């Protein structure tokens, strides 16, 4: 860093700031003892870079829900409205709007008005677009859901990484990010991807206290897995001036439905609607109708409870197996576990040789230490001990190599 600063005739602080900006935008990555490397992939597609799973390996990379736990579409498709929505019609399915508003209010969110979007990321993009501008800093979790970083990069926004633990963003580091000028925050209250972190009551209170000192900060909550998250929802958006909460049906009803609903402060929602009318116009009433009918279908609640229970069992099996090997894996909900490792490549190769495909952590992290992401959505619980033993052996081999 000092050599670079001297060569460019700038201060070391300027050189360090340049590195931070490049890392936040995904151009470079810290790779432990290997130093800092330039990423091979283009900077705004890290979420699209998916490793191919060779035949014969158990796919623990894929973040999709378990197909066998999704409700069948047949009944809803048979009952679709026969009339086609025309220009000038009502943008929202009235019954779905009522259900969405009630679900948010039941969880302490003052949902005065509801908007629909084609998935959670679509909603987040529109919300950011009406509240921030290029060059603004946005606090994000680290490790982070890669599409959040891709979106910020595409919008010309700067990611301000905030390290997380099993309860989400660490309050003291969020405070530091806000002091550095972050004017917005994207937080995942539960089922955080890639770690499975979820707010508990204490963390919720601590983060709220920090945010109360910054009333103008725009808070976005991505509650993407709400129906099958398996833990209580705790919001940061209560009594805020600028806020936005989005919930998607993708994890519970299937990603291809492309329906999410959201609420927020009056200004954000008004601008959101105006921008949406200039683009997509509205979310298809066919999709909205299917989402609504699935939601109220007799038996759906039982299916959701069953799915939530199975996902929790699969997560618990994997976390317990790692604990037996002396490896602490945090996170209480969601479809993924984050396993800290010393050498991502070695761990990924070891698991591949044992018959399992997992994701290296590099594309999920900004400053966070190395790790691997293991999807639990379709995990066979009988495989958990073998996975943990393989990673533990890899860690011992890494330690032995470095000691010599």
Query: What's the pLDDT at 156?
Result: 87
Beta bridge partners of 243: 219
Query: What's the pLDDT at 21?
Result: 76
Name the residue among 106, 117, 134, 127 with its Cα closest to residue 187: 127
Query: What's the pLDDT at 28?
Result: 74
Number of separate helices (H) and strands (E) present in the chain:
14, 15
pLDDT band at 29 (very low <50, low <70, confident <90, very high): low
Dihedral (C-alpha) 348, 349, 354, 360: value to the nearest 10 degrees? 10
d(CA 359, CA 61): 5
* pLDDT tens digit sequence for 329-339: 999 999 999 99
Query: What's the pLDDT at 402?
Result: 64
Query: What's the pLDDT at 375?
Result: 97
* pLDDT tens digit sequence for 223-276: 999 999 999 999 999 889 999 999 999 999 999 999 999 999 999 999 999 999
3-state secondary structure of 141: strand
Query: What's the pLDDT at 33?
Result: 62
* pLDDT tens digit sequence for 336-384: 999 999 999 999 999 999 999 999 999 999 999 999 999 999 999 999 9
The first and second tokens of residue 156, run together, are 């010309």
* pLDDT tens digit sequence for 47-99: 555 667 888 999 999 889 999 999 998 888 888 887 777 888 888 999 999 99
d(CA 379, CA 322): 14
Name the residue among 369, 356, 344 with its Cα closest to residue 161: 369
Share above pLDDT 90 across residues of the chain, in percent, rounded to a whole number: 74
d(CA 155, CA 223): 22
The mean-pLDDT minimum among 27-36, 116-125, 181-190 falls in: 27-36
Residue 31 has pLDDT above 70, yes or no: no
The mean-pLDDT minimum among 2-6, 199-203, 301-305, 315-319 falls in: 2-6
Q: How much is the mean pLDDT over the chain?
A: 91
What is the chain's length?
Answer: 404
d(CA 53, CA 195): 21
Query: What's the pLDDT at 15?
Result: 87
Query: What is the CA 387 to chain-centroid distance, rounded?
Result: 24
d(CA 47, CA 63): 12
Find the angle CA(138)-CA(330)-CA(337) to the nearest 5 degrees.
80
Q: Are 119 and 259 in contact (CB under 8 A)?
A: yes
pLDDT band at 135 (very low <50, low <70, confident <90, very high): confident
Containing 185, the helix (H) or strand (E) segment is strand 182-187
- Which position has the higher pLDDT, 3 or 231? 231
Domain 87-296 has CATH 3.40.50.1240: no
d(CA 200, CA 208): 12
* pLDDT tens digit sequence for 94-129: 999 999 999 999 999 988 799 999 999 999 999 999
**Quick one: fold of 50-67+301-403?**
3.90.1150
Domain locations in the chain as residue ranges: 1-40, 50-67+301-403, 87-296
């Amino acid at each position: 860093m000092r050599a670079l600063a001297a060569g460019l005739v700038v201060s070391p602080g300027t050189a360090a700031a340049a590195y931070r900006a490049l890392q936040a935008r995904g151009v470079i990555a810290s790779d432990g003892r290997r130093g800092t490397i330039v990423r091979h992939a283009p900077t705004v597609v890290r979420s699209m870079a998916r490793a191919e799973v060779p035949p014969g390996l158990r796919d623990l990379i894929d973040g999709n829900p378990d197909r066998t736990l999704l409700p069948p579409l047949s009944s809803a498709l048979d009952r679709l409205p026969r009339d086609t929505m025309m220009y000038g019609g009502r943008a929202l399915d009235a019954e779905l709007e009522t259900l969405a508003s009630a679900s948010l209010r039941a969880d302490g969110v003052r949902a005065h008005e509801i908007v629909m979007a084609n998935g959670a990321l679509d909603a987040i993009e529109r919300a950011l677009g009406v509240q921030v501008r290029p060059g603004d800093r946005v606090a994000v979790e680290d490790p982070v859901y890669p599409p959040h970083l891709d979106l910020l990069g595409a919008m010309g926004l700067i990611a301000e990484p905030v390290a997380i633990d099993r309860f989400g963003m660490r309050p003291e580091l969020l405070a530091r990010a806000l002091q550095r000028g972050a004017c917005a925050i994207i937080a995942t209250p539960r089922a955080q991807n890639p770690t499975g972190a979820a707010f508990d009551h204490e963390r919720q209170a601590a983060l709220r206290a920090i945010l109360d000192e910054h009333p103008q900060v725009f808070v976005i909550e991505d509650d993407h897995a709400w129906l099958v998250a398996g833990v209580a929802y705790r919001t940061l958006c209560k009594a805020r001036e600028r806020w936005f909460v989005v919930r998607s049906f993708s994890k519970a009803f299937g990603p291809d439905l492309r329906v999410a609903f959201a609420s927020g402060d009056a200004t954000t929602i008004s601008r959101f609607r105006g921008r949406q009318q200039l683009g997509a116009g509205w979310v298809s009433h066919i999709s909205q109708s299917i989402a609504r009918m699935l939601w109220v279908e007799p038996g759906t609640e039982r299916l959701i409870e069953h799915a939530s229970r199975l996902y929790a069992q699969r997560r618990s099996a994997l976390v317990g197996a790692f604990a037996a090997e002396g490896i602490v894996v945090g996170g209480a909900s969601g479809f993924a576990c984050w396993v800290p490792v010393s050498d991502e490549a070695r761990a990924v190769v070891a698991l591949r040789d044992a018959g399992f495909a997992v994701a290296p952590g590099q594309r999920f992290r900004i400053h966070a230490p190395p790790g691997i992401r293991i999807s639990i959505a379709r995990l066979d619980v009988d495989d958990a001990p073998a996975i943990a033993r393989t990673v533990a052996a890899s860690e011992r081999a890494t330690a032995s190599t470095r000691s010599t």
